[in-house]
Structure 1
Amino acid sequence: MPHPARLTVTLREVAAAAGVSVATASRVLGGSARTVSAANARKVLEAASELRYTADVAARAMRRKSDSIALVADDLTTPSIAQVVAAMERQARTVDAFVTVSAAGGDPRRQLETVRTVCAFRPRALVITSSWAATTAYGARLAEELHSYERRGGRVVIYGDMDAPFDAIGVDDRGSARLMGAHLAATGHRRIAILAGTRERTFAAARTTGFLEGLLGGGVDVRDIRVIDCPVSRAGGYAAASRLLDESPGEFDALMAVNDMIAVGALSACRAAGVDVPGRLSVTGFDDIPLAADVTPRLTTVSLPFAEIGERSIRLALTVAGRPDRPGIRQTVTGRLVVRQSSKVI
C-alpha cells in the first residue's frame, strides 16, 4: 500500500527504498547523461512514485547550470524589446532551453544587483540588453561580475553599446540614421528639427549624429537644423513637438525623431495643432515598431531587424566559449529605410 504523502522526501530515502546508491538515484531522477541499468532505473522510478518524491529544482539549480538563458534588460515596456524577447524565446525552444527575463530600469546599481542574483542561479547563458561603459565605477564592477560568471562556465552576450571584451550584438545606429538624413535631404527638405531624446542614451546620441551627417552630406545648411532634447517616450515627443509648433510655426519642413514612439507623439501634436502631415510637415521615426504601420499617416522610419537580433543573441549565447582571454565576438546589424506616407517629396 503506498505511503501517505509527506512534506519532504529526500533523495537518500528514495535510494534506500530502491536498494541503490544515492548517486544512481540522482542520475535517474536528475536526468544525467550517465547510463543506469534498466532494472535500477525502474526501481528508482517506482520508489520515487511510491514515496511521492519531488525534486528540489531550486537546490538542483544551485549545484549545476540550468537550461535557462537569462535576459537582463533596461526596459521591458518598449515594443522593440518585446520583439527581441519573443524571438529569443522561439530560438531557445529549438534547443530545449527557455528564457527568463529581468528588468534593471536603466539604473546601474539595480543592474549590478540583478546580474548578481541571476548568476547565482547558474543560467546556461546571460544576455544583457544595455548600453554601458566598463570605465565607470558600476561598469567596472559589472564587468568583473560577468567575467566571474564566465570563469564558472557561463556565457555572456551584450545587445547594445559597450566597451568590455564580451561577445556582443550591436546596431549601427549612426550609419542607419545617416540613411534617413540623406533621404530627407534628397527629397528637398531644408529646415529640420531633430527630436533627439536624452544625451545619456547612447543610441539616441548615435542616431542624432547620423541624422546630421546625412542631412549635411545632402546639402542642408547646419544653421537650418535644430536639435531638441526630450524624454524618449510618446509623451516626450508630444511635448517637444507641441512647444516647437507653438514657438516656431512654419519654421521647419520636417521633424526627425530618434525612435518611433517619439515620432508617434510628434504626429499627435501635429494633429492637435491642426498641422497637416505630410502636406505641411514631414515626420520620421526610427525602429519600425508595429505601431509605425498602423498610425495615420503611416510612419516613414528606419527598420531594425529585432527578430533577427533576438535569434542571433541566443545562437551566440549557446556557442561554445573560447579562451577566457579571447577578444569578444562583435556582430553588427544595420537598419533599412522604409518610406511611408508621413514624409513627402518637396
Structure 2
Amino acid sequence: MPHPRRSVTLHDVAADAGVSVATASRVLGGSSRSVAPEYRDRVLAAAARLRYTADVSARAMRTSSDALALVADDITTPSIAIVVAAMERQARAKGAFVTVSATRGVPARQLETIRQLRALRPRALVLTSGRIDADALSGRLLAELQAYQGDGGRVVVVGDTDLPFHSIRFDNYRAATEIGRHVALTGHRRVVILAGERAQAAMSARTEGFLAGLRDGDVADVRVVHCEVSRQGGFTAARRLASDFDAVMAANDLIAVGALSALRAAGVEVPSDVSLTGFDDIGLAVNVTPRLTTVALPLAYAGAEAIRLALKESGPITHVTVEGRLIIRDSTARAR
C-alpha cells in the first residue's frame, strides 16, 4: 500500500530555494515587506517545483478571522431564518460576517461539517439545533468542538444541550404548558396534537408541555399525531383526522397553517367548529385568516445574543434561557 504523500512545508521551500524561512514566508504569504527579485524568483520556483500549497488554516489561526460559522439543522424554516437574520445584523454591527451550513440535525453530518469548518478557522462556531448531546457519536462531536476551542475558537449553542459551552435555550416546555392550559380553560375537551417528528427534541418538549397543560385543565381525551414539520405535513395529518375533536394544537406555526388549509377544505370552520393553535409566532401567523393563536419566541433576541456571546471577551460559561409568550388571536374561541 503506498504511503500518503507528506505535506510540503514552508521550511522545505526555504531549504530548496536556499533562503531563510522568513524570506520564503514574505514571498508566499503576501507580506508587504520587499524581497530582492533574485530571492523572490528562487522561492517561487522552489514552491512550484515542490508543489507547495500555503497552509491557509494555520495562517488563519495566526490572524484574527472575522468569520462566524453557523451550523443549523435546517436553514429553510422561517424560525431559523429569523435567528440567522438577527445574527447577521449583530455580526455586521461588530465588523464580522456569518456563514451558514445545514446538517438536518444528523450527528454524523454535524461532525463532518464542524471538521470542515475547523480548517477554515472561523472566529466562532454557533450551533443551533433542537438538541446536541455530549455523548453524540461516542463523544467525537464534543472532542471536535473542544479541540476547536483549544485552538482559540469560541463555541455557542442555540438549543438544548449538555455541552460545556455558552448556550441559549428556549423553554419550549413551559410555554407549551401555558398554551395547553389556555385551550383547556376555553372549554375544549377533545384535542388533537400535531406533534411534528418524534426525533426532534424541540417538538417533543412542546408536545410534553401541551399534554401537561391539558392535564392541568382536566382534559383527558387527547390524541398525539406525528407528522412532517412543514405546511404539507400539517395539511396531510389534519386531512386524515376523524371529526371527533374540538381543538388542534400544532407544534409550530407551519404545521398549524397546513392544518388550517386542510380543515377549511373539509368544511370545518376555525374557530367556530374547531380551535387551532401554533407555536413560534412567525410572520405567517398573522398573515392567515383567522390569525393564529400561538406562542411568540424571542427568536431575533436569541440570534443577537448568540453573536454577543461568540464575540465577548473570555470569561465564565454563560447559559441563557429565553421564554415564550402566549399570543391569543382569532383562531381560538370558547368551545361550543
Deviation at 1:260, TM superposition (A): 0.6
Report if aligned partners of 1:127, 1:158 keep a CA contact under 8 Å in 2.
yes
| Alignment-derived partner of residue 217 in structure 1 | 216
| Runs of at least 5 residues in structure 2 that lack an aligned partner in the other structure | 1-21, 35-53
1:65–1:122 contact (8 Å) kept in structure 2: no
Q: Residue type of the partner of 1:148?
A: A
1:330 matches 2:327: no
Q: Which segments of 5 or more consecutive residues in structure 1 lack a partner in the other structure?
A: 1-20, 31-40, 45-55
Secondary structure, aligned partner of 1:161: strand
Give the match for residue 117 of structure 2.
118
Q: 2:63: which partner in 1?
A: 64
- Aligned partner of 1:277 in structure 2 is 270
Q: Are the aligned partners of 2:67 and 2:123 in contact in 1 as well (CA < 8 Å)?
A: yes
Asked whether the equivalents of residues 135 and 142 of structure 2 are also in contact (C-alpha less than 8 Å), the reply is no
For 1:24 and 1:195, the matched residues in 2 are separated by 60
Matching residue of 1:262: 255
Q: 2:240 aligns with which of 234, 238, 243?
A: 243
Report if the CA contact (8 A) 1:177-1:208 is conserved.
yes
Worse-matched range after superposition: 129-138 or 203-212? 129-138
Question: What pairs with 1:1-346 in structure 2 (closer than 5 Å)?
Answer: 58=56, 60-61=59-60, 63-130=62-129, 131-137=131-137, 140-220=139-219, 222=220, 224-244=221-241, 248-249=242-243, 251-322=244-315, 328-346=317-335
The superposition leaves residues 172-212 of structure 1 with CA deviations (integer Å, 9 ceiling, x where unpaired) of: 00001011001111111111110111221111111011111
Compared with structure 1, are the counterparts of its residues 121 and 254 closer, same or farther at alpha carbon in structure 2 (3 Å cutoff)? same
| Contact 2:124–2:310 (Cα < 8 Å) also in 1 | yes
Indicate conservation of the 8 Å contact 2:107/2:137, yes or no.
no
Q: Residue type of the partner of 1:192?
A: V
Matched-pair contact (CA < 8 Å) for 1:176–1:335: yes
Q: Is the 8 A contact 1:62 1:120 kept in 2?
A: no
Q: 1:182 to 1:24 in 2, by over 3 A?
A: same
Cα deviation, 1:295-332, whole Å, max 9, x if unaligned, reads 1111110010111000000001112234xxx6x42101
Give TM-score, length-normalised by structure 2: 0.82
Q: In structure 2, what is the Cα distance between the partners aligned to 1:295 and 1:278?
A: 13
The share of aligned pairs that are identical, in percent, is 56
Task: Say if 1:134 and 1:164, in contact at 8 Å, map to a contact too.
Answer: yes
Q: C-alpha separation between the residues in 1 aligned to 2:55 and 2:249?
A: 50
Q: 1: CA distance between counterparts of 2:177 and 2:153?
A: 37
Shift of 1:161: 1.2
